[in-house]
């Protein structure tokens, strides 16, 4: 086993000598500050206790560290676990484990297991482990500080001048001022020389000296050799993939000029002068290719739906959104409006993205939307059978529908559901009471110095995280904008135990004797009703937000809308019963929002889609008319009459009556409604989503007039969001949109990125994926903290 011996010197520095039976002795010299830091990290073993709880805690920590190391060895953790191994240190008397240590596999040194990341940083990155540094770093020239000054007299001709290349043993790691030697005697001589080296600026001169020595190393070391030579085909293939990565992820094109990236290109044998190429010919060629693919797919379709997303300024469920912000757009109230073409085969094709210039006029939106319709269809505008948008349902969409009778224009259901929370906030008194109470508690704790420090202490103990309760900016009105008040409610509920401990403090009790506001806060916190009401509001918001996320994931068709809102009514009713809320008021708010979003096409698609047929007592699969109200039945007749030509209107109604009485053959109905488990979400999903339309075009050919309308109705999407763009990229484009060339290039990049995302059905954006990666990277640290902070008594 290797042993570590520490020797003190006159100047307060320490020399650690590590000896091993299989290696030569290695001497490592460190500065006093670095030694003290390492000592504090690697000492202080865990106290020994014969108590069974202490042994369990030690074993638990040991097993946790082993689990983390095993994951890391498989490529799912930090790099340093390849060199650190957790071990149990036994007590010399009893032989039972007394502590957990980390053992360096390179030099066999032992360290405390309390903070593996810090241990790795100090032991490996700062050069304390000579075996680690010598295996990674090439031999360096002799540092200037280690050169013995030559005598003033001229050397004799027989004496050769000293050469830096001949002194390969001493190595100075200038970043941490550590010198390693492979020869013990030479190390002591060099150590004493460095000890007596006097610099006019004192110890602070060591930093400057190290930087100077780094410069000498760079001048003496050869330049990086270029990577292996590639063939022309290999270079073109690699550049195609590289440029696709830039375009499809909306990466800033200027990144290709970064010196580190250019060094990488040189290392792998690619040309590094690509600035003109990436924004010139390659971009044009890639855009033309994507555009041609999209136009070909649109031409092949007999009809389509146009989806318009981005008119609604800001994402309400982004809880960082504030009334003083940029509305979640690209700055100054401006937003990027995206147009996507939904095809009958279930795929979507990107068409165009335009900046709305901050204009929110419905007439302007109507003109832009119709211009996009004519751009896609040309002269045959009847191919566009509907529009779905996230705004202007009451005016722009309705006007276009009135002017063009074959159209079905609906509002986005994501916006309808998120708007429901605003309705609750404005019309349900419970929301106002809870917001006011939470703000009162949060502001009182945040603004009192003593309470603030006590809260932070208890929150660190209870939740292992710091920070005060988030409160809205004074510029925002939380009673009108629930988005800025929600973080306060969320923090108050999550810190319930912490807040209750704060009000039980003696200092707070003294404060209550003098301050009536403190007494009021204490009364609320200690009242169970306050927490029940807070939990009720929070659970209702989470309920609606959960449905929004489901809709965003499933991207339902309009035939699903009626059952979706019915499901919401049922959940709200259950919520009222659970928290003793009067049902009538909440149900009226839901019904009011439902009527604002309702379109007769919901009922018509629900009746005509074979997916929703119901088996009756005779075994027939019939349309679910029992689920419709009287008004909705009339809406179905009116809508079908409007969508049909004058000559076919009465025929459509006759065929509808036949469909209502006969329905679909049970075999085909069962095939349409067959479901299978989704491997991603784990939920049951329709096995053949296109079968509803295909049945009408093949098996139900006798319904000629009704069938033409049915296939145009049941494929319509209920949401307008096709994909999420990179907000940072669009902000940069918006800042430079006055340049025609810049805007044209940006439009091409946006088109290529959107085309690629829709092709692989990727509806997320880079910011969301970054957040997921950060959560994944923090999971290992969280696990380590659980084991490292486990009590030992």
Identify the CATH number of the domain in which residue 333 sits. 3.30.420
> Please, what sign has the CA dihedral across residues 681, 687, 691, 692?
negative
pLDDT exceeds cutoff 50 at 685? yes
Higher per-residue confidence, 306 vs 228: 306
d(CA 733, CA 469): 36
Asked if residue 489 is part of any domain, the answer here is yes
Q: Could you give the C-alpha distances from 109 to 62, 106, 173, 252, 656, in angstroms and in order?
A: 18, 8, 20, 46, 83
Tens digits of residue pLDDT in 625-681:
999 999 999 999 999 999 999 899 999 999 999 999 999 999 999 999 999 988 777
d(CA 164, CA 22): 30
The phi and psi torsions of 338 (rounded to 5 degrees) equal: -110, 140
pLDDT score of 727: 66
Closest of 249, 255, 248 to residue 287, by C-alpha:
248
**Mean pLDDT for the chain overall:** 77
Domain stops at, among 212, 245, 279: 279
Percent of the chain whose pLDDT exceeds 70? 73
Please indicate, yes or no, whether residues 296 and 386 belong to a single structural domain of this protein.
yes
List of residues 6+ apart from 793 with CB closer than 8 A: 49, 51, 53, 54, 57
pLDDT score of 609: 96
The phi and psi torsions of 358 (rounded to 5 degrees) equal: 80, 5
pLDDT score of 114: 82
pLDDT score of 143: 46
Q: Please, is 728 exposed, middle or buried when counting C-beta atoms within 10 Å of its C-beta (0-12, 13-18, 19+)?
A: middle
Tens digits of residue pLDDT in 477-492:
888 888 899 999 999 9
| Confidence label for 773 from pLDDT (cuts 50, 70 and 90) | low
How are beta strands 621-622 and 675-677 bridged, if at all?
Answer: unpaired
Please indicate, yes or no, whether residues 266 and 302 belong to a single structural domain of this protein.
no
H/E stretch holding 432? helix 429-447
- Do 437 and 522 form a contact (C-beta atoms < 8 A)? no
Higher per-residue confidence, 667 vs 188: 667
Please indicate, yes or no, whether residues 295 and 267 belong to a single structural domain of this protein.
no
pLDDT exceeds cutoff 50 at 82? yes
pLDDT score of 7: 43
Please indicate, yes or no, whether residues 387 and 438 belong to a single structural domain of this protein.
no
| Confidence label for 475 from pLDDT (cuts 50, 70 and 90) | confident
Asked if residue 38 is part of any domain, the answer here is no
pLDDT score of 200: 73
pLDDT exceeds cutoff 50 at 49? no
pLDDT score of 382: 93
Tens digits of residue pLDDT in 294-303:
999 999 999 9
Please indicate, yes or no, whether residues 468 and 502 belong to a single structural domain of this protein.
yes
pLDDT exceeds cutoff 90 at 253? no
Asked if residue 80 is part of any domain, the answer here is no
Tens digits of residue pLDDT in 367-394:
999 999 999 998 899 999 999 998 887 7
pLDDT score of 728: 64
Instruction: Quote the number of domains for the chain.
Output: 4
Higher per-residue confidence, 749 vs 153: 749
Token code pair at residue 490: 């969320």
pLDDT score of 742: 77
pLDDT exceeds cutoff 70 at 366? yes
Asked if residue 392 is part of any domain, the answer here is yes
| Confidence label for 765 from pLDDT (cuts 50, 70 and 90) | low
Based on C-alpha coordinates, what's the Rg of the chain?
A: 36
- Do 556 and 720 form a contact (C-beta atoms < 8 A)? no
pLDDT score of 780: 46
pLDDT score of 37: 39
| Confidence label for 311 from pLDDT (cuts 50, 70 and 90) | confident
Asked if residue 502 is part of any domain, the answer here is yes
pLDDT score of 88: 87
Asked if residue 642 is part of any domain, the answer here is yes
Tens digits of residue pLDDT in 205-242:
667 777 777 777 767 665 555 556 778 888 888 888 88
pLDDT score of 530: 94
Higher per-residue confidence, 638 vs 281: 638
d(CA 371, CA 349): 17
Higher per-residue confidence, 682 vs 202: 682
Tens digits of residue pLDDT in 551-607:
988 899 999 999 999 999 999 999 999 999 888 899 999 999 999 999 999 999 999
Please indicate, yes or no, whether residues 540 and 425 belong to a single structural domain of this protein.
yes
> Taking residues 322-347, what's their average pLDDT?
67
Please indicate, yes or no, whether residues 426 and 300 belong to a single structural domain of this protein.
no
Percent of the chain whose pLDDT exceeds 90? 36
- Do 476 and 323 form a contact (C-beta atoms < 8 A)? yes
Domain stops at, among 539, 554, 569: 554
- Do 675 and 691 form a contact (C-beta atoms < 8 A)? no
Please indicate, yes or no, whether residues 715 and 744 belong to a single structural domain of this protein.
no
> Taking residues 342-347, what's their average pLDDT?
92
pLDDT score of 559: 95
Please indicate, yes or no, whether residues 381 and 469 belong to a single structural domain of this protein.
no
Domain stops at, among 279, 300, 316: 279
Closest of 689, 387, 661, 420 to residue 560, by C-alpha:
689
Q: Is 708 left (phi over 0), alpha (psi -120 to 50) or beta?
A: alpha
pLDDT score of 408: 96
The phi and psi torsions of 339 (rounded to 5 degrees) equal: -115, 125
Tens digits of residue pLDDT in 93-131:
777 888 888 888 888 888 888 888 888 877 876 667 777
Please indicate, yes or no, whether residues 291 and 269 belong to a single structural domain of this protein.
no
> Domain range holding 272?
232-279
Asked if residue 238 is part of any domain, the answer here is yes
pLDDT score of 269: 82
Asked if residue 303 is part of any domain, the answer here is yes
List of residues 6+ apart from 243 with CB closer than 8 A: 278, 282, 283, 286
pLDDT score of 793: 31
The phi and psi torsions of 526 (rounded to 5 degrees) equal: -90, 0
Residue 733: alpha-carbon gap to chain centroid: 22
- Do 107 and 128 form a contact (C-beta atoms < 8 A)? no
Please indicate, yes or no, whether residues 477 and 548 belong to a single structural domain of this protein.
yes
Residue 431: alpha-carbon gap to chain centroid: 29
Please indicate, yes or no, whether residues 438 and 544 belong to a single structural domain of this protein.
yes
H/E stretch holding 488? helix 482-494
Helices and strands (DSSP H and E) totals, the chain = 31, 17
- Do 341 and 351 form a contact (C-beta atoms < 8 A)? yes
Q: Is 790 left (phi over 0), alpha (psi -120 to 50) or beta?
A: beta
């Amino acid at each position: 086993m290797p042993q570590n011996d520490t020797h003190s010197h006159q100047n307060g520095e320490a020399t650690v000598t590590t000896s091993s039976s299989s290696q030569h002795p290695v001497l490592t010299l460190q500065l006093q500050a670095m030694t003290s830091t390492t000592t504090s990290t690697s000492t202080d073993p865990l106290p020994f206790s014969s108590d069974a709880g202490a042994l369990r805690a030690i074993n638990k920590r040991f097993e946790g560290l082993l689990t983390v190391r095993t994951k890391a060895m498989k490529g799912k953790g930090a790099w340093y676990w390849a060199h650190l191994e957790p071990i149990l240190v036994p007590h010399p008397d009893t032989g039972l484990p007394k502590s957990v240590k980390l053992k360096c596999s390179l030099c066999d040194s032992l360290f405390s297991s309390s903070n593996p990341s810090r241990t790795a940083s100090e032991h490996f990155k700062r050069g304390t482990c000579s075996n680690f540094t010598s295996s990674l770093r090439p031999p360096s020239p002799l540092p200037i500080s280690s050169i013995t000054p030559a005598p003033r007299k001229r050397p004799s001709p027989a004496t050769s001048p000293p050469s830096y290349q001949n002194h390969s043993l001493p190595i100075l790691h200038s970043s941490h001022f550590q010198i390693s030697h492979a020869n013990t005697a030479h190390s002591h001589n060099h150590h004493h020389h460095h000890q007596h080296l006097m610099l006019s600026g004192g110890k602070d001169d060591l930093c400057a000296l190290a930087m100077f020595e780094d410069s000498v190393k760079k001048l003496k070391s050869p330049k990086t050799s270029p990577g292996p030579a590639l063939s022309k085909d290999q270079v073109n293939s690699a550049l195609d993939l590289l440029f696709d990565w830039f375009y499809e992820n909306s990466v800033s094109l200027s990144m290709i000029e970064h010196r580190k990236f250019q060094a990488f290109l040189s290392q792998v044998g690619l040309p590094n002068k690509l600035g003109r190429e990436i924004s010139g010919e390659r971009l044009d060629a890639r855009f033309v290719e994507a555009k041609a693919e999209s136009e070909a797919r649109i031409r092949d379709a007999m009809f389509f739906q146009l989806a318009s997303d981005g008119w609604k300024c800001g994402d309400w469920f982004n809880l960082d959104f504030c009334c003083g912000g940029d509305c979640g757009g690209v700055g100054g109230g401006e937003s990027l409006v995206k147009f996507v073409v939904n095809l009958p085969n279930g795929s979507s094709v990107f068409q165009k993205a335009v900046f709305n210039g901050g204009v929110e006029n419905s007439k302007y939106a109507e003109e832009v939307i119709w211009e996009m319709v004519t751009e896609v269809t040309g002269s045959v505008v009847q191919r566009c059978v509907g529009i779905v948008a996230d705004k202007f349902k009451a005016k722009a969409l309705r006007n276009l529908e009135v002017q063009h009778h074959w159209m079905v224009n609906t509002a986005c259901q994501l916006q309808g559901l998120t708007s429901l929370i605003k309705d609750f906030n404005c019309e349900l008194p419970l929301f106002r009471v809870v917001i006011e109470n939470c703000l009162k508690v949060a502001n009182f704790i945040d603004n009192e110095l003593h309470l603030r420090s006590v809260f932070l202490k208890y929150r660190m103990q209870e939740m292992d995280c710091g920070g005060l309760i988030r409160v809205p900016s004074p510029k925002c009105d939380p009673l009108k904008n629930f988005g800025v008040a929600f973080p306060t409610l969320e923090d108050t509920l999550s810190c319930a135990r912490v807040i209750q401990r704060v009000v039980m403090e003696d200092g707070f009790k003294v404060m209550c004797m003098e301050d009536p506001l403190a007494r009021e806060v204490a009364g609320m916190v200690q009242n169970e009703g306050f927490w029940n009401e807070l939990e009720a509001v929070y659970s209702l918001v989470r309920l609606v937000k959960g449905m929004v996320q489901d809709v965003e994931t499933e991207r339902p068709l309009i035939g699903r809308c009626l059952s979706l809102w019915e499901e919401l009514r049922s959940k709200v009713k259950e919520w009222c019963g659970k928290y003793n809320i009067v049902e009538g008021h909440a149900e009226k708010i839901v019904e009011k929002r439902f009527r604002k979003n309702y379109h007769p096409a919901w009922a018509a698609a629900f009746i005509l889609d074979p997916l929703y047929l119901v088996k009756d007592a005779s075994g027939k699969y019939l349309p679910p008319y029992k689920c419709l109200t009287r008004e909705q039945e009339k809406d179905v007749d009116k809508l079908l009459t409007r969508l049909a030509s004058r000559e076919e209107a009465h025929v459509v109604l006759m065929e509808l009556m036949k469909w209502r009485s006969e329905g679909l053959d049970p075999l085909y109905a069962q095939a349409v409604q067959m479901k299978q488990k989704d491997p991603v979400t784990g939920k049951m999903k329709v096995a053949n989503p296109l079968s509803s339309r295909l049945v009408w075009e093949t098996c139900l050919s006798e319904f000629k007039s009704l069938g033409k309308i049915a296939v145009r109705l049941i494929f319509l999407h209920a949401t307008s969001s096709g994909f999420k763009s990179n907000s940072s990229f669009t902000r940069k484009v918006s800042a430079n949109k006055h340049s025609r060339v810049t805007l044209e290039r940006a439009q091409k990049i946006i088109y290529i990125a959107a085309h690629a995302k829709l092709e692989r059905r990727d509806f997320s954006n880079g910011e969301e994926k970054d957040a997921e990666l950060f959560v994944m990277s923090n999971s290992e640290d969280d696990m380590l903290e659980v084991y490292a902070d486990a009590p030992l008594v």
